[in-house]
Structure 1
Amino acid sequence: MGEIISFKAVSWRRNGQEILSNIHWSMEQDEHWAILGLNGSGKTSLLNIVTGYQFPTAGEVAVLGNVFGKTNLPELRREIGFVSSSLDRFSNSLNHETVEDIVISGKFASIGLYEEVSVEDVEKAESLLTSLRLDYLKGKHFRLLSQGEKRRVLIARALMSNPKLLILDEPCTGLDVLSREEVLFLMKEIVKNNCHLIYVTHHIEELVEEITHALLLRDGRIIAAGPKREVLTDDILSETFKTPVSVRWEENRPWLAVKKESILRF
């Protein structure tokens, strides 16, 4: 498979308003992308198109070799893992589940287990917990975990179905520094498993070494897209975030600082 994602002249309108405009973007084999932009920039709409929950108003989309309009979208979604802080809304249901059951449920894309579980399913869940350094959580109920542990367990759950593409939508929201770094450590294991990664965030310091490329959105349009060292520059980030910023690199991670001068008017 060559292209993992292909957007050609993609636009999406809602209630007469253009939310995404003329998006040209491709994600190639062995690339792992970050998506950056202010609230309202179009990040969520772009993700909804990638996962087949929104159909573009104009343009052509292909994901994992499946051309929209010529493919079974529910089948495609089985190849895409998704983790977001928005999954916290299911906490009342998840709180009564053990860590192992939550991970296994990822195979069935369900909240809770309602289908027969095989010995192989149990073994795979335990293997995932081990590879993600979560063995110590075996047997515990979800409600007893820290926020960081919960996010890591949900990532393990998303990997249970062997997705070819994993979307992490602001997975570190609300986490302290230690919990954030524990979540970010998992990127190494994810990319080892032949899984392509889309990482959505407001915080560029979360773009660890495994993230190879970045797509920057502003008001539904692409400001820049390409290798992260090339696009995460002072000028491009200032335009994206509508305020003057500077970026420095430490251990192959970018760190952002807001300049003291007044907010730029682009």
Structure 2
Amino acid sequence: MDARASAPLFWIRDASVVRAGRTILHVGDFSLSEGEHVALLGPNGAGKSTFIQLLTREVFPLWREEPPVRFRGQERPLLSEIKGALGIVSSTMHDQVRVHLPVEDIVVGGLFGTLGVPLHAEVGGAHRERARAALDRLGIVGLAGRDVMTLSTGQVRRVLVARELVRDPRVLIFDEPCTGLDPEGMYHVRQTMGALASEGRSIVLVTHYPEDIIPPIARVLLVKDGEVFADGPKADLLTSEVMSDLFDVPLVAAEQDGWYSLRGSYA
């Protein structure tokens, strides 16, 4: 069997990210299998975004003789390989949508890594068919001709998912995907994550809120003060005691039909 085929999707051992002489994240031991889902949960400034940047090669750990981060068994993968495998949707990406463009052009841009169709790019019918197919899979193909600036926040967020999906990535990273959304928008984004998880893609979710963790995500990685606080089944970690320790305030966790929620304990 090909060693790369049997290797974890991501593998991290003793990785430290240092800024201005201070360690802002240390990961002792982490691996993610192909098709596995995980949620990174923790307070603001805990190191969740830095963790994702380790995976995407936007930041690099301290040098070690044995490279601390591997992708599909490779010590030094090509950046193009990583980008080809990953799709990233974030609330910060949403902030860049400040142009009057048709939704279909926004999605086609995902094939070129741009927001919209780049100048002088040759875009044919096959590109537009792929864009419409991605929109259709999310149930929003009817928006294809709309000006993206006329959409609701929740609709734009789903268009950005389609923009990543058009490249058919095997891993989708959702970085705070429900920030700024109303309940309807949250519902559709969470439903979208569930549908994509069922296709065998790996879902990596970064969030502050257990409410975002869809039922197919069985594993939770808790991050606090630049360290992995805990890593394990969500049934074991999404408890009142553990959540209170993670966020340093008294919290009450509840579960219903595979969905978890938190509320403050003010007694």
Give the structure-1-normalised TM-score.
0.91
Give the aligned partner of residue 12 of structure 2. 7
The offset of 1:58, in angstroms, is: 5.0
Q: How does 1:134-149 map to 2 (within 5 A)?
A: 134-149=140-155
Give the aligned partner of residue 89 of structure 2. 83
Deviations 1:33-63 (A, max 9, x none): 1111111100111111110010111561112
**How far apart are the structure 1 equivalents of 2:72 and 2:88?**
15
Deviations 1:150-189 (A, max 9, x none): 0000001011111121111011101111111011110132
The answer to whether 1:113 aligns with 2:117 is yes
Give the structure-2-normalised TM-score.
0.91
Partner residue of 1:28 out of 33, 39, 42 = 33
| Counterpart AA for 1:181 | Y
How many residue pairs get aligned? The number is 257
Give the aligned partner of residue 175 of structure 2. 169
Give the aligned partner of residue 63 of structure 1. 71
Q: How does 1:121-136 map to 2 (within 5 A)?
A: 121-136=127-142
- Indicate conservation of the 8 Å contact 2:15/2:28, yes or no: yes
Deviations 1:55-101 (A, max 9, x none): 1115611124432xx22224322221111111133222xx3211111
**How far apart are the structure 2 equivalents of 1:41 and 1:83?**
20
- 5+ residue gaps, structure 2: none
- Indicate conservation of the 8 Å contact 1:35/1:201, yes or no: yes
What is the RMSD of the two structures over their aligned residues, measured on CA atoms?
1.6
**How far apart are the structure 2 equivalents of 1:188 and 1:88?**
21
**How far apart are the structure 1 equivalents of 2:251 and 2:156?**
33
Give the aligned partner of residue 228 of structure 2. 222
- Indicate conservation of the 8 Å contact 2:194/2:214, yes or no: no
**How far apart are the structure 2 equivalents of 1:22 and 1:198?**
16
Give the aligned partner of residue 264 of structure 1. none
* Percent identical residues: 33
Moved beyond 2 Å, runs of 4+: 63-67
**How far apart are the structure 1 equivalents of 2:82 and 2:26?**
24
**How far apart are the structure 2 equivalents of 1:254 and 1:192?**
19
Partner residue of 2:42 out of 37, 42, 58 = 37
| Counterpart AA for 1:105 | G
| Counterpart AA for 2:50 | S
- 5+ residue gaps, structure 1: 262-266
- Distance of aligned partners of 1:121 and 1:189 in 2 relative to their CA distance in 1, 3 Å threshold: farther
Give the aligned partner of residue 48 of structure 1. 53
Partner residue of 1:231 out of 230, 233, 237 = 237
The offset of 1:209, in angstroms, is: 1.0
The offset of 1:11, in angstroms, is: 1.1
Partner residue of 1:255 out of 248, 254, 261 = 261
